[in-house]
Structure 1
């Protein structure tokens, strides 16, 4: 199944490729110098709040994700090059790997379930991306992992080019199909 990600400044929105109705969205802002964010469903009900934490001494980025019911899970960087992030959500291990250019892969319990490709060009603060998955039942988890890695990046009102990761990156399985 294919999904579209629409990025407009401090707001990300997910919809099915064949249907423009919002499935889930994410928004972020800065309060007292700290980034905060929320993931909302299609009726703007809160699904998760997310805060970002950087450990200077361990040189590690992590995200604290909380649901309104009190469930908490972490999305943590797993390597020094910041190309693998992992989370345990409802007893499943989710992992997002960052590849060269603008590509990412999402794994559930070691099996790839999604491929993400972000837009190369941002025009007037607007850009688009695509998620292809064989696990539509996990689309909120996939979007949450993607959102954690992208919140705080603000597109301004100009023409921008996103070359993606040009440094060290994880190898991609070019043959993966949903």
Structure 2
């Protein structure tokens, strides 16, 4: 599965277009006037958010709640600030999100890699762009939430509408990026796809 997230920075809030396997399926918006970051993810042509993301107070570290359409709520938090390791427990499973050198992140579920994404190096007058690759059976709502949280948390050019170059991370990493990882694909006969 491929997920593309394209941000558009507006004067008072951010808006994201989200594509699933090349088709625009979702959009996300941030709250206009809020001290702490708030994001909502909507399916196209729906008024009720699929996912609501709320930043919580934490000095320098990431701490966010993710609330899903059915009412379930989970906590996303920083495990290691210096090594860019984040964690979230969902339905008895541990999700570890690792920042790597450059602009890449990997997602592991119970110790097994299920996805990775990369942020575009250059943004022109809009905002950040992300390209995610994941196992076909991955929870795309959760992966989208992880990416949006880290965009909000790590973006160092908030409110910028101009040209921006991101050289990426040069610091320590909790886990090395696995360039050999490939997503698990679901056969085309599966009615969900």
Match of 1:63 in 2: 64
Match of 2:18 in 1: 14
Shift of 1:75: 0.4
Shift of 1:127: 4.0
For structure 2, the residue ranges without an aligned partner over 5 or more in a row are 184-193
Cα RMSD (Å) of the superposition? Answer: 2.1
* 1:80-99 correspondence to structure 2 within 5 Å: 80-81=81-82, 83-99=84-100
* Residues 136 and 6 (structure 1), Cα distance of their counterparts in 2 relative to 1, 3 Å cut: farther
TM-score scaled by length of structure 2: 0.79
Equivalenced residues, count? 174
Shift of 1:55: 2.5
Shift of 1:25: 2.7
SS in 1 for 2:96: strand
Match of 2:163 in 1: 159
Paired residue for 2:50, among 47, 53, 67?
47
More strand by share: 1
SS in 1 for 2:31: strand
CA distance, structure 2, for counterparts of residue 142 and residue 150 of structure 1: 12
TM-score scaled by length of structure 1: 0.85
CA distance, structure 2, for counterparts of residue 15 and residue 3 of structure 1: 6
**Does residue 174 of structure 2 align to residue 174 of structure 1?**
no
Paired residue for 1:28, among 11, 27, 30?
30
